[in-house]
A and B are shown apart, each in its own frame.
Chain A
Amino acid sequence: MDFLLQQTVNGIVLGSAYALYAAGFGLVMANLRIFHVAHAAIFTWGAVFAWILTDQFGWSLLAALPVVAVLAGLLDVLAYLLLIRHILGRRDHEMAAFISSMGGLIVLVELADHFLGGSVVRIGADAFDSVPVAIGPIRVSTLHVAMVGLAFVIVAVTTWVLARTQWGREIRAVAFDRETASILGVDVDRVSAGVFFVSGAMAGVAASFVAMAFNIIDADLGSSYLVIALAAMVVGGFGSIPGMLVGGLLIGVVSTYATGYVSSSASELVVFVLLLIFLALRPEGLFRVRAELTRV
């Protein structure tokens, strides 16, 4: 039982990183109905920003996080302005935006590769003074506690903003019908740019923790989590931020169980079997959202 608990906690830690990635990715997808794959490159650049601030400037990870969030958010806004905005008026804008975003992904990944000189870099262990913590039979590190805590806080705040604030209502209005929202006086460009900013900031925060905890940063970092994030969105339910948190955590736990009880090579297989089961039996995911709100 202790072992099961330990692996569950390990899975929640892993899942919290998936959840943050998926929530940022899903926010854009739900809001604009576009598959913004360049989000993977924003994630990579988030990790690179964290590496620059911690390794090059000697900042601690916690001090670097807000700056990383802002930089990654601004980069995602830039991606919106250059790759997406001018395409939204087209009839087939979903496919056009996907292709445009794919081009952005390739360019940003190549830029990251050149910036890193094609090598793997790492955030030094002194950027976050992580110590082991024993809670009964369960062992975690303070870094893991921070990761999970931050994921819950970010998802909770995002959910509250979307549900309870004027800006949240504007986002939902744009999501429901961009043209009508515009006629009603909503600055749709500003709202969409805001969604991309929040999405990028989430990616930056998630990437910082992933880079710190798993000790690896390369140009393909974001791309390696892209399919897992997609699985988390399918399991949690498109359009639901809490759903993406639960989806990410579930994927993380299932993946860790597979590694713990079978082997590492089985984890991806188990995750994608779970994905297929959801697509077949519950395609709307765990958190069904009312039809008129499916886009946020």
Chain B
Amino acid sequence: MKLLQTPGGRRFVCAAAGVATVVAVTACAGPANGSDDSVKIGLLANLTGGASTSFGIPFEQGFELALDEAKAQLDNAGVTVEVVTEDAKSAVPTAVTGYNKLRQEGVALVVQDSQSPLGQAVAPLASEDGIALLSGAGSSLENPDGYAFRFTDLATPTAAVGTYLSAQGAERIGVVVAGDNPSFATLAGATEKGLPTGFASRQEVSSQDSDFSAVLANLRRDRVDAVVLSVLPAQAGNLLLQASQSGGLDGVKLVGTLATSTETFTVAQDVARGFEFPQVWAPSISGDSDFQRRYTEQYGETPTAYGALGYQVGWIAAASIITADGAGTADGASTVDGAAVRDALPAASTSDLVHEHGILDLELASDGVAISKGVMATFGPDGSVVATEPQE
């Protein structure tokens, strides 16, 4: 109490109380409204940590490229967009902290590249704050007021494999599934939905298995003409190699799932040439599409599926801002807030602007679910993933 009894002490206490009051008032103020006319988009990307190389960095690059290219269209619409980037660092706590910073910046839309736990942590906050969220989460998000959208669709490209095989004349289609891994069981189930009749042969293996001689004998016995390998990427390579070594499956088409990666090629090498699998997007083998060329020029590397997703989402975000800005209010004022972006996103995803400049068939439904056809891909001569169908 001696502190209050001196003039200096009283000044110190008054100053501290003043600072505390200012801090408290600021903290309670909620999202700041943009002081200028620009519309702010928050990019909550995994720029460091485990998800950075495969997801966050290519996504950010594709997103920035799209918004850079969309600048002319935004200018024509009289809209200025500012992207505020926060590093989620591939972890839930930092993603939440990053989201709170974006909220303080007054963003109308938060775009988040991947990782379900991160999306699941941020979605309820965005819903509460009335900020639209466009997330790459693979799992469903809490979405009571329709603010949360997912741009990932694993089911449609996977089901398309079944349709693809049927269209190629395959009648007896088998599956090898890592039954102890729920993700692969789900992928196998989704593939089966694309088949007119179910799998003619279903072989369950464990994620630890490395000897597939018994499984391959079963497939030969069941006289399949195509087999879906819903297993770990390395196991898929091992299966291809062992099928080649033991013989008896010549002419049988082997295909993978969305989980197939370059690791399959690393294991099977040349035996994996011609092996097909679905991907959200893959570069064309000639590398001559406009997007591939621009991306490669800008960043010095071939775009991956997440680079392409970032690019597509960038155009969808731009289109939704233009639409939301055009909607305005009854008195003609522009109010691009989270609710307006939320309402604009589904139509924007299939708008003429996105069709003209985007590179994917990616449709956002009003319930927050995405529909994306995907493409069939294979391995290029160097083992890179390339599309078997023309892009763009």
Query: Using a CB–CB distance below 8 Å, which chain A residues touch chain B?
Result: 3, 6-7, 10-11, 13-14, 120, 122, 124-125, 130-134, 139-141, 143-144, 213-216, 224, 256, 259-260, 263-265
Would A10 and B179 count as touching, CB distance under 8 A? no
Would A260 and B217 count as touching, CB distance under 8 A? yes
Would B245 and A130 count as touching, CB distance under 8 A? yes
Would A260 and B234 count as touching, CB distance under 8 A? no
The residues of B that contact A124 with a CB separation of less than 8 Å are 269
Would B271 and A263 count as touching, CB distance under 8 A? no
The residues of A that contact B205 with a CB separation of less than 8 Å are 263-264
Nearest-Cβ distance from residue A129 to partner chain B, whole angstroms: 10
The residues of B that contact A144 with a CB separation of less than 8 Å are 213, 246
Q: Please report the total number of B residues contacting A with Cβ < 8 Å.
A: 30
Would A260 and B269 count as touching, CB distance under 8 A? no
Additional A-B contact list (16), CB under 8 Å, known A120-B234, A131-B245, A141-B246:
A6-B217, A11-B214, A122-B267, A133-B247, A134-B248, A139-B247, A139-B248, A140-B246, A141-B247, A215-B238, A216-B234, A224-B208, A256-B214, A260-B218, A264-B204, A264-B215
With contacts A260-B217, A264-B205, A264-B206 known, is A132 near B211, CB below 8 A? no
Asked if B392 is an interface residue, CB under 8 A from chain A, the answer is no
Query: Which one of B210, B214, B220 lies within 8 Å of A214 (CB-CB)?
Result: B210
A248 to B238, CA, bound (A): 24
Nearest-Cβ distance from residue A179 to partner chain B, whole angstroms: 44
Would A134 and B247 count as touching, CB distance under 8 A? yes
Most chain B beta-carbon neighbours within 10 Å: one of A122, A132, A259, A260:
A259
Most chain A beta-carbon neighbours within 10 Å: one of B217, B241, B267:
B217
Query: Using a CB–CB distance below 8 Å, which chain B residues touch chain A?
Result: 179-180, 203-206, 208-211, 213-215, 217-218, 220-221, 234, 237-238, 241-242, 245-248, 266-267, 269, 271
Would A139 and B238 count as touching, CB distance under 8 A? no
The residues of B that contact A11 with a CB separation of less than 8 Å are 214
Would A214 and B218 count as touching, CB distance under 8 A? no
A264 to B235, CA, bound (A): 14
Would A10 and B214 count as touching, CB distance under 8 A? yes
Would B238 and A259 count as touching, CB distance under 8 A? no
Nearest-Cβ distance from residue A267 to partner chain B, whole angstroms: 8
Interface majority SS on A: helix, strand, loop or mixed?
Answer: helix
Chain B, Cβ-Cβ closest to A11: B214
The residues of A that contact B204 with a CB separation of less than 8 Å are 263-265
Would B238 and A214 count as touching, CB distance under 8 A? yes
The residues of A that contact B271 with a CB separation of less than 8 Å are 125
A132 to B246, CA, bound (A): 5
Would A263 and B210 count as touching, CB distance under 8 A? no
With contacts A215-B241, A265-B179 known, is A7 near B217, CB below 8 A? yes
The residues of B that contact A13 with a CB separation of less than 8 Å are 213
Would B214 and A7 count as touching, CB distance under 8 A? yes
Nearest-Cβ distance from residue A136 to partner chain B, whole angstroms: 13
Would A14 and B209 count as touching, CB distance under 8 A? no
Would B215 and A259 count as touching, CB distance under 8 A? yes
The residues of A that contact B213 with a CB separation of less than 8 Å are 10, 13-14, 144, 256
With contacts A122-B267, A256-B214 known, is A141 near B245, CB below 8 A? yes
Would B267 and A215 count as touching, CB distance under 8 A? yes
A260 to B206, CA, bound (A): 13
Would B247 and A14 count as touching, CB distance under 8 A? no
A260 to B211, CA, bound (A): 12
Would A216 and B210 count as touching, CB distance under 8 A? yes
Chain B, Cβ-Cβ closest to A263: B204
16 intermolecular pairs with C-beta atoms under 8 Å apart: A10-B213, A10-B217, A120-B234, A122-B267, A132-B246, A134-B247, A139-B217, A139-B220, A214-B238, A215-B210, A215-B237, A215-B238, A215-B267, A260-B217, A264-B203, A264-B204
